[in-house]
Structure 1
Amino acid sequence: MKSLFLLLFIAFTTYAQLPQVRFEHLTSKDGLPSNNVLNIIQDKGGFIWVGTRKYLTRYDGYRFQNFTRVEGIYNHGVSSDWQNNIWFSSSTIPFGRIDNKTFKINDFTSKLPPLSDGNYGNIYFDHQKQGWISDFHGVYKFDPSTFKFKYFPLPKTTYKDIKGDFIEDKQKNLWVLGLDVGIYKYNPDKQELRCVIGPNIADPKKRFFFEVGRAIIDEHGIIWIAAYQKGLIRFDPQTEEIRFYDNHIMAVCADKDENGKDILWVSNGKTIGIFRPEQEKFYFYEDIHTDEIQVFNICKSPSTGVIWFCTMQDGIFVYNPHNQLIKSVSFANAMPQKNLTINAILKDSTDASGQTFYVGLSRWGMVKWNRTDNTKQFFKYPHYPADAETRQMIQDEEGRIWIFTNQWQTWADGKENPEDNEFEGIFVFDTQKQKFIPIPFTTHHGFFTVPFYSIGMEDSKKRLWIINHYLSMHVVDKKTGKELTLWDKKDHTELMRDRWLMDIVEDKEGRFWLATTAGVFYFDETTRKFQQVRFSDDNREVSVIKLLLDKQGDVWVTGWDILAKISRTYKVKMDLSSKDGIYDVECRQLAEDAHGNIWIGTLGGLQLYIPSQNRFLRFTQNDGLMSDNTTFSFYMNNGKELLIGQKNGVNIVNTENILKSRALNNIAISSVTVNNEQRFYDWSKPFELKRTENAITFYVSALNFLKDNQNHYSYYLEGLEDNWIDARDNATFTYNNLSPGSYTFHVRLLDEKGNKQLKEVSVNFSIQPYYYETWWFKTLIIALIIGLAYLLYRFRINQLLKLQEVRNRISRDLHDDIGSSLSSISLLSVMASKKIDPQNPSNQLLKQIPEEVSRLSSAIDDMIWNIRPENDDLENFFVRLRDHSVQTLQAQDIDVDIDFSINHQAGGLSMEVRRNIFLIVKEALHNITKHAQAKHVGIKLYVQRGMLVIEINDDGKGFDKHKPSSRNGLRNMTSRAAEVEGTFEIKSEVGKGAEIILRVPMLQKKLMRI
């Protein structure tokens, strides 16, 4: 968006005939689909709909949203009804409607009455919710719900165009403006049109021919009609009186100027202008654009007051009354050459109206400016004007203006020329005589080696201070012309050593503050000394360019990356830099407004420091500045407006209103993209997205059409974020990789300070999960897992039951079959031995059979016991182990002490583990009874860290465990322990008995059962 600054003036009225306004310019470079713009309306939501030769488009202040199906809008063929739906007539869809919530396009062309040419336009809806539309022959009234049409023909002429346009007056009367057939009033009772003005009317006083363009109604109820060659027409619908104002007027729109005066915005086919009804005069702007502007239509937004100018080939020009707080005044026509800067601004204290200013140029002279009528008068400097650079202007008590310049022509004529004495870099202007006069004392090369009079000041004692930035400082009595010595020369020389003196101010106590490139100094006339202000403990040097004495008597300083405040006691109260918000480090101007805010001129725009908020704001060309370079000159007028010198002109900043919120109480969701694809939804209802549609961008707008940085937003996404997020001027909000769930996007508009909430909107939406992310699918999977686990469990139980049945059957078979067979063998062997001679060698063998059968029966009995499932219980195992130990040892008269201190809930042992443990213990007891010659045996069983520990010790003769042995008992016990992942340890010494320790891992009960 480009800004055009209109700097216009009229010298003979009490107020400016042309408002000092700034237009913005929208073209195809900004997204407008075509620079040929025919029609603009604002819907009830605040959006701007633009009918172009290419497409119908919607504008929210940031973006254009094109409706490519709707091509080539006809004339005024865009309108909105009472439900805020958009009706249009275009080349592709002659009669259509867009639902303003869903953006669905409906083609109702087939519902139109059949006519030969098929050209329609100028859609309008009256207060009774009835629609009107025109074609080349007449106008139609239609019911938008039933599409019943009533035709009102208009007189046939040679003109081939849309025949009629529509407007309602304040009494709700409908008027039809015929293209070239006059003005008609609609009678709803008789359902007819009555011609009140036209070429064929009987009354000669009302018999006029004119070509009607666009018409509007002002707040007084007067209808104004753009009548092309006939000019501007004023039509009073009450008296039906008509009046013509000659000119070539193509478009008209009613408005108020900056002073509240009634104006009409008009176009003459070349540029934009205004018509003042009270004066009955036209005024047109010059140089708005590089070429002539053919404005086809002028529309005013009812809610914002923004004026939209539709042009034939130059896009849209926009006048936003809320964007006019920085205005521009051109001095180009009053300057002797182009591109001069205004280096000094001074208000004439002798003018009671306070509207006369003098501005000093970078070369040639100064301009007297009367703000009342915007007239300007140039005064050329009397000596070397082309080389005299204005540096400062002051006005004395007699009203004379002292102008200090850097005279770049450095005495080329020598010291003999007496003119040098009268005009040597310092000029005095008599405001009464309106001419330059000689200075009242002699300079003539007496101050500086070059005629650079960089700074001038008159102090409270009416003494004149004259300063050259890098040479010296002098004080002169204006009346006597004598130089006064206020300080020791050595001190002055030391002050100027390696320093430039940039500025000087006098405080209320009569002390003089000096800004230098190496810090801030103050001079007290009573002590005749220069003292430096310390900015830090290490006496940091700062480069200071400008000083300001505020209303409280404190001194503000600025320069290279610094804004500081120094108290009257020389203490630095505040010291800010770019770390604190200074945007451009080269700060050269300072001013204080009525509210104590500090304005700073930099190369990078105008900065404002608000002490009450400790906050910086920045204004640039985007806000209305002619240039971002605001370092040439400042003048604060009554604390309410800041005048800024610029190249070829002056910016005027309304310091009273610029901080007031200009954001209207409106905000809307403009559009949404999902996965970078534009979507249209009814924002009043929740909408759903697919799982893959998890990247969403919301575009919002305050719909006040201010500059981007003048709106302030905050937002949060409920369901993802918990707190509001400050977005400042960002109006686009993107979320990626959103998870399935329900969300509510909240966004609100704040005032320009970011404090007061103006309005909030929200949008509800949800992202659907994949089927495998749904609760029912997860529940189904959990149920399936539980079912499978239960089936596996049942299968395992059945297997265990079958295994137990097998074990029971084996134990029964061993007991019943093999046990009974062994008993029979034992019995038969005893009977056989009785029948054989005792001396027979075979008898000894027969006697061994019962012993072997007994041993085998015992082994089988152990096997049967181990196989039986009921013996899986630890208690049964321990009982078996105890009984066997007692029987074995007591049979040999050996005392036994058994300690089974075990928690039966600690775990269990599998069948294989039990078998190996039992055989190890059995082998150990066998060895004790056979070899140890022990009298006492102790058996201890306990669980330690998931291990079953069995300790067996005796008081027998012991043995040397390191001595090689051919017996297999110890090896077998070690091997069996390893089989069950246990350990077997033996401790023994000759004569000291023996101890064995068996450690076997225990199983959890559930594992043991499985």
Structure 2
Amino acid sequence: MKYLVTLLFISLCTYAQLPQVRFEHLTSKDGLSSNDVLSVVEDKEGFVWMGTRKYLTRYDGYQFQNFTQIEGAYNHGITSDEQNNIWFASRTIPFGRIDAKTLKVNDLSNKLPPLPDGNFGNIVFDSQKNGWMSDFHGVFRFDPKTFAHQYFPLPNTTYKDIKADFIEDKQKNIWVIGLDVGIYKYEPLKQKLRCVVGKESDKPDKRLFFEVSRATIDRHGIIWISAFQQGLIRFDPVTEDLKFYKDYTLAVCADTDEQGRDILWVSNAKTIGIFRPDEEKFYFYEGVYSDDFQAFNICKSPRTGIVWFCTLQQGVFLYNPHSQLIKAVSFANFLPENNLAINAILKDKTDATGQTFYLGFSRWGMVKWNKANNSRQFFRYPHYPSEAETRQIIQDETGKIWIFTNQWQTWADGKENPEDNNFEGIFVFDPQQQRFLPTPFTTHHGFFTVPFYSIGMQDSKNRMWIINHYLSMHVVDKATGKEIVLWDKKDHDTLMKNRWIMDVLEDKQGRFWIGTTSGLFYFDERTKRFSEVKFPDDKREISIIKLLLDTEGNVWATGWELLAKINQQGVALLDLGSKDGIYDIECRQIAEDIHRNIWIGNLGGLQVYSPKQQRFLRFTQNDGLISDNTTYSFYMNEGKELLIGQKGSLNIVNTQDLLQNKAISNLAVSSVIVNNEQRFYDWSQPFELKRTENAITFHVSALNFMKANQNHYSYYLEGLENGWIDAKEDATFTYNNLSPGDYTFHVRMFDETSNRHLKEVAVSFSIVPYYYETWWFKTLIIALVLVLAYLFYRFRINQLLQLQEVRNRISRDLHDDIGSSLSSISLLSVMASKKLDPESSSNQLLKQIPEEVSRLSSAIDDMIWNIRPENDGFENFFVRLRDHTVQTLQAQDIEINIDIDSSINNEIGALSMEVRRNIFLIVKEALHNITKHAKCTKVDMRLSLQKNMLRIDIKDDGKGFDPQKPSSRNGLKNMTSRAAEVGGSFEIKSAIGKGSEIVLQVPVLEKKLIRL
């Protein structure tokens, strides 16, 4: 929002007549669709609707929303009904309505008879919910639901425009204000319009002609009409009497001023002003705008009290009563020179009313000002006033006022002029006698080489401190002028070395605090010592300009990028800089209000620090400051009102109201941007977005039309964020790449200073997922996967069952067919050998057949055992391996020791047929070699599981051999190849005379992974 600051300073004769106000200004530079605006209405939510030459526009205090399909609504009137729908007339849509919740535009032109020419306009609704509207020839009364209507023609004239406006009085009567035909009253029983004033009136004295523009009704029920050349008309709807006030007026609106007195806002061909009915006088503002302007419509918001001024070509001006908390009083026309700053402010304690202040200016003298009646009296300094720069004003115990100045001209005179003795740099003023007195002691270059009396202070013992910033400090007895020595000169000189003294104050313990350009010190008169205050950041350069003693006895210091708090023990409790919120580095003034807030004057405006909230607020020209330079002087009046010296003027800040702004806040969602497209929804109902519509921006507004930084928001998106997020003054909230789901956007507003929760708004919406992101689709996919997995599982089980059946059949066939055949062969060979000569070679061959059959039967038996599915378990395999080992070795009288880890049975569920076969054959071959070649007496076998590897260690105590020696035997090669077949390894360790050891490692599956 652009603010055109208009501060109006009035002399004594008009001080109470023209309210001191500040107008704000909106134009096309701020986003207004056109600078031609003639219609404004505020709806029940608090949005302001403006009829402009270009479009119908809605304004929320931050941004404008243009309804581009509604063009040329600037002079045809807009209004809202009981449901908050917006009714309008425009060039493109002669008669229409905007839905309050969805903002959908409805063309209702076909609900009324077609217009012969011109447009509809000036739509209003009365207390009976009937609509009233005018065209170029008369007025309609219509039912907004059924559009049943009654038409009342008005006399034809040469005037070609909307014919009438409407006012409802306190007795619920409807008055038709004919723009060029007079005043009519609607009589519901007769259902007709009666001419009260105009050429159709039945009273000759009321047959008057005047052209009117706008009308308003005040709180007493009096109707006021702006009537161009005839001026302002007062019309009493009870007596039907008129009174004319001859001053050209274009528009009028009823209101009250700051004291509750009735006023009328009026406009003429040049500016805006007020009319005071009790005085029957007009007062017009000057300098509101750089050029003359015409406000053709003035509207007051019943909710916020804001007054809107609609103009042609200059946009909209507004007066916000809640932004008027910084007042201004001008002394510019009362001074001998322009641009004189108020360097010192003193409240006269001899005045029982507490309304008298003395203001010391940068040159010439001081002004005695009565705040209650704005009276002022100028007192010129008695000695070289044009060169006497006021630095400080204090009042002693007798009520006399001491003014300390930098006397530039006396410095130029040197010590030659004895007339300087009485008035050189320090002036004493008697408020009772209203005159300057001779200084009670001679100052003529007695303290400083130059007459710059920068600082003056009277301590609790009524001693006067006189200080030059860069030369020295002196304590003086006022009566005798003799200096009182409080400190050692060497300590004083050390203090003054390479630093300036900027301020001095006395605390409750009688210590004197001295702020310098290089540190903060305090002087204890009892010990006569200066002590320096240590700050937390000892590397930071501390440059102090102003000191403050707060109500608790703490010392506050401000200066270059500094706000510090030091307790009574001299410990710095707080040290703040720009990183903490100080806006401008040069802070020169400081004050404390009754709520213990600390106010700071710098070149960037007025700042206040809240120790309770630990935060800064800032106020500028936009809030009513004459200038953002607030460094000249401060005075806190009774802890509630801060007086700020400015050039030629004074700002008065109501600190309590400024920090507890009572502006009505009606937080609302202004609009939603979805994928860069503006949407309107019924925010009270959840709405849906498509899956691709996952970028959403919410614009909200407090609808109080205050500065953005005076509204404080926090927010969170339920469904994405878990807690409130502080947005400060940011009123736009954007979310991108939202996932499908349900969300609720929460936003709330706080009072900027007290953090008091004012209002919360919630908007619910959902993003619809793609079909493949829905729960039913995911459930279907999971079910399908489970079915497929089950089918695969059944297929695999069936395969395994079939394989088991094949293995069982093979083992049966081997056992039944091959086994019986081998048995028959063995039996037949035995029988045949009995019939032959025992010594014959044939008989010897027949005897070998049973041995071979036995060996073959053993191999077949092993094969059958290996094929059988029930032997897949590791436990069965181990039993088989153990039995074979024991039988083989015991037959040779070899001691056997078999050790197995207890965890193997739990970890290994089953072994495949291939693994079992190869392990068994490798062990069998190893045992065969032991019995045949080792010549051992003992064998140790150990089975263990290491990292999914079944490890078999077989160790004997036989004669051993050299593994590196070449051998023609195939046994070792076969064992190595068999281990490799199943992904394992085979290793043999041996040495001559030290036995042998083989290590077999075969990968196996854990029990939990194999169940088939």
Relative to the length of structure 1, the TM-score reads 0.90
Deviation of 1:196 (Å): 0.9
Q: Tell me, in whole angstroms, the C-alpha distance in 1 between the residues paired with 2:827 and 2:510.
A: 144
**What is the aligned partner in structure 1 of residue 971 from structure 2?**
969
The 3 A distance-change label for structure 1 pair 962 and 223 is same
Question: In terms of mean alpha carbon deviation, does 223-232 or 507-516 score higher?
Answer: 507-516
Residue identity matched to 1:490: K
Q: Is the 8 A contact 2:979 2:1000 kept in 1?
A: yes
Question: In terms of mean alpha carbon deviation, does 277-286 or 342-351 score higher?
Answer: 342-351
Residue identity matched to 2:153: P
Q: SS where residue 801 of structure 1 aligns?
A: helix
Q: Is the 8 A contact 2:31 2:63 kept in 1?
A: yes
**What is the aligned partner in structure 1 of residue 196 from structure 2?**
196
Q: Is the 8 A contact 2:98 2:105 kept in 1?
A: yes
Residue identity matched to 2:785: I
Q: Tell me, in whole angstroms, the C-alpha distance in 2 between the residues paired with 1:468 and 1:215.
A: 65
Question: In terms of mean alpha carbon deviation, does 31-40 or 348-357 score higher?
Answer: 348-357
Q: Tell me, in whole angstroms, the C-alpha distance in 1 between the residues paired with 2:872 and 2:519.
A: 98
Residue identity matched to 1:272: I
Q: Tell me, in whole angstroms, the C-alpha distance in 1 between the residues paired with 2:487 and 2:990.
A: 114
The 3 A distance-change label for structure 1 pair 973 and 327 is same
Q: Tell me, in whole angstroms, the C-alpha distance in 1 between the residues paired with 2:843 and 2:526.
A: 152
For residues 720-759 of structure 1, the aligned pairs below 5 Å read 720-759=720-759
Q: Tell me, in whole angstroms, the C-alpha distance in 1 between the residues paired with 2:859 and 2:595.
A: 112
Q: Tell me, in whole angstroms, the C-alpha distance in 2 between the residues paired with 1:129 and 1:721.
A: 45
**What is the aligned partner in structure 2 of residue 331 from structure 1?**
331
Question: In terms of mean alpha carbon deviation, does 787-796 or 234-243 score higher?
Answer: 787-796
Q: Tell me, in whole angstroms, the C-alpha distance in 1 between the residues paired with 2:185 and 2:495.
A: 85
The 3 A distance-change label for structure 1 pair 908 and 305 is same
**What is the aligned partner in structure 1 of residue 24 from structure 2?**
24
Deviation of 1:168 (Å): 0.7
For residues 808-847 of structure 1, the aligned pairs below 5 Å read 808-811=808-811, 814=814, 845=845
Residue identity matched to 1:969: G
Q: SS where residue 297 of structure 2 aligns?
A: strand
Q: Is the 8 A contact 1:186 1:193 kept in 2?
A: yes
- Is the aligned partner of 1:306 residue 2:302? no
Q: Tell me, in whole angstroms, the C-alpha distance in 2 between the residues paired with 1:935 and 1:315.
A: 118
1:18-37 deviation digits (Å, cap 9, x = unpaired): 11111121222222111211
The 3 A distance-change label for structure 1 pair 875 and 751 is closer
Q: Tell me, in whole angstroms, the C-alpha distance in 1 between the residues paired with 2:1009 and 2:395.
A: 107
The 3 A distance-change label for structure 1 pair 75 and 352 is farther
Q: Is the 8 A contact 2:667 2:759 kept in 1?
A: yes
The 3 A distance-change label for structure 1 pair 514 and 337 is same
Residue identity matched to 1:12: C
The 3 A distance-change label for structure 1 pair 419 and 247 is farther
**What is the aligned partner in structure 2 of residue 607 from structure 1?**
607
Q: Tell me, in whole angstroms, the C-alpha distance in 1 between the residues paired with 2:610 and 2:760.
A: 27
Residue identity matched to 1:46: G
**What is the aligned partner in structure 2 of residue 405 from structure 1?**
405
- Is the aligned partner of 1:136 residue 2:112? no
Question: In terms of mean alpha carbon deviation, does 182-191 or 509-518 score higher?
Answer: 509-518
**What is the aligned partner in structure 2 of residue 863 from structure 1?**
863
Q: Tell me, in whole angstroms, the C-alpha distance in 1 between the residues paired with 2:657 and 2:414.
A: 54
Q: Is the 8 A contact 2:713 2:729 kept in 1?
A: yes
1:362-384 deviation digits (Å, cap 9, x = unpaired): 23444454544545565555654
1:873-897 deviation digits (Å, cap 9, x = unpaired): 4555455546655665677777877
Residue identity matched to 1:970: L
**What is the aligned partner in structure 1 of residue 625 from structure 2?**
625
Q: Tell me, in whole angstroms, the C-alpha distance in 2 between the residues paired with 1:87 and 1:710.
A: 32
**What is the aligned partner in structure 2 of residue 7 from structure 1?**
8
Question: In terms of mean alpha carbon deviation, does 324-333 or 352-361 score higher?
Answer: 352-361
Q: Tell me, in whole angstroms, the C-alpha distance in 2 between the residues paired with 1:469 and 1:943.
A: 92
Q: Is the 8 A contact 2:599 2:607 kept in 1?
A: yes
Relative to the length of structure 2, the TM-score reads 0.90
**What is the aligned partner in structure 1 of residue 172 from structure 2?**
172
The 3 A distance-change label for structure 1 pair 919 and 279 is same
The 3 A distance-change label for structure 1 pair 986 and 44 is same
Residue identity matched to 1:146: T
The 3 A distance-change label for structure 1 pair 804 and 135 is same
Q: Is the 8 A contact 1:322 1:662 kept in 2?
A: yes
The 3 A distance-change label for structure 1 pair 735 and 329 is same
Q: Is the 8 A contact 1:663 1:710 kept in 2?
A: no
- Is the aligned partner of 1:490 residue 2:495? no
Deviation of 1:447 (Å): 4.6
Q: SS where residue 270 of structure 1 aligns?
A: coil
Deviation of 1:573 (Å): 6.5
**What is the aligned partner in structure 1 of residue 530 from structure 2?**
531
1:936-965 deviation digits (Å, cap 9, x = unpaired): 777666666644455556676665656544
Q: SS where residue 914 of structure 2 aligns?
A: helix
Q: Tell me, in whole angstroms, the C-alpha distance in 2 between the residues paired with 1:668 and 1:856.
A: 97
**What is the aligned partner in structure 1 of residue 206 from structure 2?**
206
The 3 A distance-change label for structure 1 pair 1009 and 304 is closer
**What is the aligned partner in structure 1 of residue 109 from structure 2?**
109
The 3 A distance-change label for structure 1 pair 36 and 976 is same
Deviation of 1:197 (Å): 1.1
Question: In terms of mean alpha carbon deviation, does 127-136 or 393-402 score higher?
Answer: 393-402
Residue identity matched to 1:638: E
**What is the aligned partner in structure 2 of residue 688 from structure 1?**
688
Q: Is the 8 A contact 1:38 1:311 kept in 2?
A: yes
- Is the aligned partner of 1:186 residue 2:178? no
Q: SS where residue 780 of structure 2 aligns?
A: helix
Q: Tell me, in whole angstroms, the C-alpha distance in 2 between the residues paired with 1:945 and 1:526.
A: 86
For residues 780-929 of structure 1, the aligned pairs below 5 Å read 780-811=780-811, 814=814, 845=845, 848-849=848-849, 851-874=851-874, 877-878=877-878, 880-881=880-881, 884=884, 906-929=908-931
Q: Is the 8 A contact 1:602 1:629 kept in 2?
A: yes
The 3 A distance-change label for structure 1 pair 862 and 35 is same
The 3 A distance-change label for structure 1 pair 742 and 121 is same
**What is the aligned partner in structure 2 of residue 145 from structure 1?**
145
Q: Tell me, in whole angstroms, the C-alpha distance in 1 between the residues paired with 2:403 and 2:901.
A: 115
1:390-425 deviation digits (Å, cap 9, x = unpaired): 323345678765543323335556655566456544
Q: Tell me, in whole angstroms, the C-alpha distance in 2 between the residues paired with 1:305 and 1:428.
A: 49
Q: Tell me, in whole angstroms, the C-alpha distance in 2 between the residues paired with 1:786 and 1:731.
A: 50
Q: Is the 8 A contact 2:535 2:575 kept in 1?
A: no
Q: Tell me, in whole angstroms, the C-alpha distance in 1 between the residues paired with 2:514 and 2:710.
A: 38
Q: SS where residue 4 of structure 1 aligns?
A: coil
Q: SS where residue 270 of structure 2 aligns?
A: coil
Q: Tell me, in whole angstroms, the C-alpha distance in 2 between the residues paired with 1:937 and 1:541.
A: 90
Percent of counterpart pairs with the same letter? Answer: 73
**What is the aligned partner in structure 1 of residue 68 from structure 2?**
68
1:137-159 deviation digits (Å, cap 9, x = unpaired): 00001111112221110011110
Deviation of 1:186 (Å): 0.8
Deviation of 1:359 (Å): 2.9
Q: SS where residue 140 of structure 2 aligns?
A: strand
Q: SS where residue 73 of structure 1 aligns?
A: coil
**What is the aligned partner in structure 2 of residue 292 from structure 1?**
292
**What is the aligned partner in structure 2 of residue 235 from structure 1?**
235
Q: Tell me, in whole angstroms, the C-alpha distance in 1 between the residues paired with 2:955 and 2:541.
A: 94
Q: Is the 8 A contact 2:36 2:74 kept in 1?
A: no
The 3 A distance-change label for structure 1 pair 515 and 841 is closer
The 3 A distance-change label for structure 1 pair 871 and 323 is same
Q: Is the 8 A contact 2:873 2:909 kept in 1?
A: no
The 3 A distance-change label for structure 1 pair 532 and 435 is same
What residue ranges of structure 2 are gaps of 5+ in the alignment? none
Q: Is the 8 A contact 1:329 1:649 kept in 2?
A: yes
Deviation of 1:282 (Å): 0.6
Q: Is the 8 A contact 2:590 2:634 kept in 1?
A: yes
For residues 71-470 of structure 1, the aligned pairs below 5 Å read 71-348=71-348, 354-374=354-374, 381=381, 383-394=383-394, 402-410=402-410, 412=412, 420-421=420-421, 424-427=424-427, 443-457=443-457, 465-470=465-470
Q: Is the 8 A contact 2:344 2:361 kept in 1?
A: yes
Q: Tell me, in whole angstroms, the C-alpha distance in 1 between the residues paired with 2:542 and 2:943.
A: 90
1:237-277 deviation digits (Å, cap 9, x = unpaired): 11111111111111111111111111111111211111111
